Amino acid sequence: MTEDAGALYDAIIIGTGFAGVYGLHRMREAGFRVIAVEAGDDVGGCWYWNRYPGLRCDVDSLEYAYAFSQELQDEWRWSERYAPQSEIHAYIKFAADRLELRPHIRFNTRIASALYDDVAQVWSLTSEAGDSFRARYIVMATGCLSIPNKPKIKGIENFEGRLVHSMQWPDEKLVLSDKNVAVIGTGSTGVQMIPLLAQEARHLTVVQRTPAFCVPARNQPWNDARIEYWRQNYRDLRTMARNTRAGVLHEYGMLPAAAVRPEDRIADLERRWVKGGPNVLYGFNDLLVNEETNKLVADFLRGKIAQAVNDPEIAKKLMPYEYPVGTKRVCVGTDYYETYNRDNVSLIDLRSEKLQQIEKDGIRTDDGFYPVDVLILATGYDAMTGALLAIDISTSAGKSLRNEWGRGPETYMGLGIAGFPNMFVVTGPGSPSVFSNMVLSVEHDMDWITECLTFLKERDWPTFEADPAAQAAWMDHVDDVARQTLVNKAASWYRGANVDGKPQKFMPYVGGVNTYQARCREVAESGYEGFLVGGRALQDGRERELADG
Ligand code: NAP
C-alpha cells in the first residue's frame, strides 16, 4: 500500500508544468499538506512533452521565467532571447530540484477520474493505473495546450510510413536525410519546425490550410549587460509586466494608427520589424479593435512575405487574407518564408489545391501526388478545455464537467466552476491565460489559490465554489469584451474552431492581464465575492459567521 492510499491531503495539484511546480512550492511554503501528480516521468508540462526540432519560446526568456524567487533568478542564466525547449525544460527541472519538490510529486500518474463526495467534502482521484488519492481541494494545473489535436483527415489511417504528432516527438533521433517528409499545419509549431526539417529532409511538403502571419524572431544570445540589467531591476520589471495587457514588456504604442502620420506609421512598423519578435504588433493600440488599423499592419506583413519569397505565386499562397492579424496567434519564426525558396520544398495550399486523400505512401491532391515517408501532424491541440475534459470530473450530487461544458466552457474568473466545489483551475477558460505571458499568469493564479486556501483553512475548511450567477455574469463579460474586438472573426483554436465537433466559443479573457489581476484582487479582498464559501456569499467584505443563518 502506498503512503497516498490512506492519506487525506489538503490539496492535490494535477500537472507539473510551470504552474504545478510553482503551486507545489507555494502551497508547501504556506504550510499545506499537498502533493502533485504528473502523467510524465519528469516535470515540465508542455516543455516536457514537446521536443520537435526548432521548438523555442516566443516570449523573451528573461520574462518567460518565474518571478517569485530572487535565488532562482540569480542562479539561472538564459543563453538566448528565445530560449530553446531543452533550456526551458532544464530550467523547470532546476526549479523543482532547487525547491526540493520531487519527493512530493507522483510521476507516471495520469489521472483518469476525479469524483467529489458532496457529503464527505473530499475529492477522490483515480489514475489510469488504478492508484487513488484523496484531498479536500484539487488544483487543475493541466495546461491549456496539452492534448494533441489529431484531425480525421481522409485516408490517414491508410498511411504506412511514420506518422508523428508534434507533441509526441520520438525520443530517438528521427533521421530524415533520405526521407520525403510532409508537415500538415502552419501554426506556431509548423512555422518553427519547417525551416529545420527542410534543411534535413530529402524533400519537404508543407500542407497549409490557413496561412499564418509570421514575424521574424531575430533570436540572439543575451549579452552580459542585458542579463545584469535584469538582475538589478528584476522586481520592478516584473511589476511593470504585470501592469500590461499581455503581461509582457512589449513596446506598447499608446495611440491608434489614425492618430499617427501615415509616413510615421510605416517607419515605426519597419523599426519594430527590424527589432524582431512580436513587437511589430504593438505599435498601435487599436490593432484588435479597428479594421483599418488591422489592415494596415496586415498589408505591411503581407508585403514582407512578397519580399521574402522569390516566386510570386508561392508568396501569394502564403499570404493570409481570411482573418484579421492577431486574431489567430501570430507566429514568431526564423527563415520561415525564405524556406519556400528552397528547391526541396513544396507547398500544398488547400485553399487552391484540394486534398483528395492521404494514401499509404503519400498525399494525393487534385493537382497530383506527393510521396511521403514521414508525415508530421503540426495540427495543434484541443486547447484550453481538452485536458480538463480528458479527466472524468464529477460530483456525487450528479454533476459532470463533460455535461456542464457540453456547449462550451463556463467558469468564474477562469478559477472556479459552479457545481464543482473545492476545485480550482489554473489559467482556465475565462482568464487571460493563452493571451498572456503564461508563466506570469500561472504564478498569479497559484498565489491567488494559495491565499484562498489559507483563508479557507483559517475557517476550518468550508466548501468553496463559484456562484452560478457570478459565473454567468463573468461569462457575459468575457463575451462582451471579446465582441468589442476582432477576435471572433477568425476560426481560431481560441474559439475551438480547430477541433472537429468542438463547441465554438471564444475562450480566453481579452480584457488584459492588468485588468484581470486587479479584479482577482478585488474579489479576494471582498471576501471572495462571486464565490460561495460554506454554501453562501460573504458580502461586502464583512464576513458573517458561517454557522449563523
Ligand atoms: P495551431 O496553431 O492550432 O496550428 C495547427 C495548424 O494545423 C494550423 O495551421 C491548422 O490550420 C492546421 N490544421 C489543423 N487541422 C487541420 C486539418 N484537418 N487539415 C489541415 N490542416 C489542419 O497549433 P500549433 O502550431 O501547435 O500551436 C498552438 C499554440 O501553441 C500556438 O498558437 C501557441 O500558443 C503555442 N505554441 C507556442 C510556441 C512558442 O512559444 N513558440 C510554439 C508552438 C506552439 P487552420 O489554421 O486552418 O486551423
pLDDT tens per residue, range 322-332: 999 999 999 99
Is 544 a member of any domain? Answer: no
Q: How many CA atoms are closer than 13 Å to the CA of 164, on its beta-carbon side?
A: 25
pLDDT for 1 = 53
Identify whether residues 351 and 399 lie together within a single domain.
Answer: no
Q: Name the residue range of residue 234's domain.
A: 214-377
Identify whether residues 327 and 260 lie together within a single domain.
Answer: yes
User: What CATH number did the domain enclosing 46 receive?
Assistant: 3.50.50.60
Query: Is the CB of 419 within 6 Å of ligand 1?
Result: no
Is 306 a member of any domain? Answer: yes
Run of H or E residues at 357: strand 355-359
pLDDT tens per residue, range 397-441: 999 999 999 999 999 999 999 999 999 999 999 999 999 999 999
Indicate the DSSP class of residue 120.
T
Identify whether residues 231 and 322 lie together within a single domain.
Answer: yes
Identify whether residues 389 and 263 lie together within a single domain.
Answer: no
pTM: 0.96
Identify whether residues 370 and 302 lie together within a single domain.
Answer: yes
Identify whether residues 229 and 107 lie together within a single domain.
Answer: no
The C-alpha cell of 467 is what? 456562484
Please state the φ and ψ torsions of residue 128, each to the nearest 5 degrees: -60, -30
Residue with CA nearest ligand 1 atom 37: 188
Identify whether residues 367 and 392 lie together within a single domain.
Answer: no
Residue with CA nearest ligand 1 atom 12: 185
Is 421 a member of any domain? Answer: yes
Identify whether residues 234 and 370 lie together within a single domain.
Answer: yes
Identify whether residues 95 and 35 lie together within a single domain.
Answer: yes
Is 514 a member of any domain? Answer: no
Pick out the chain residues at pLDDT < 70: 1-2, 539-549
Which of 465, 480, 514 delimits the end of a domain? 465
The total domain count for the chain is 2
Q: How far away, in angstroms, is 186 Cα from ligand 1 center?
A: 6
pLDDT for 542 = 46
User: In this structure, are residues 216 and 280 in contact, taking their beta carbons and an 8 Å threshold?
Assistant: no
Is 174 a member of any domain? Answer: no
Is 183 a member of any domain? Answer: no
pLDDT for 548 = 42
Exposure string (b/e) for 458-492, b if CB count within 10 Å is 16 or more? eeeebbbbbbeebbeebbeebeebbeebbbbebbb
SS3 category, 519? helix
Is 545 a member of any domain? Answer: no
pLDDT tens per residue, range 91-146: 999 999 999 999 999 999 999 999 999 999 999 999 999 999 999 999 999 999 99
Which of 442, 465, 488 delimits the end of a domain? 465
Identify whether residues 335 and 287 lie together within a single domain.
Answer: yes
Which of 377, 398, 416 delimits the end of a domain? 377
Identify whether residues 446 and 368 lie together within a single domain.
Answer: no
Which atom of ligand 1 lies closest to the CA of 82?
41
Instruction: From 166, 498, 500, 504, give the residue whose CB has the most ligand 1 atoms within 8 Å, as the site to mutate.
Output: 498
Query: Is the CB of 334 within 6 Å of ligand 1?
Result: no
Give first-to-last CA distance, the chain, whole Å.
43
**Spatial CB neighbours of 234, under 8 Å, sequence gap ≥ 6:** 67, 70, 73
Average pLDDT over the chain reads 96
Query: Is the CB of 188 within 6 Å of ligand 1?
Result: yes
Query: Is the CB of 377 within 6 Å of ligand 1?
Result: no
Cα–Cα distance measured from residue 371 to residue 206, given in angstroms and rounded to the nearest whole number: 12
pLDDT for 546 = 42
Is 537 a member of any domain? Answer: no
pLDDT for 171 = 87
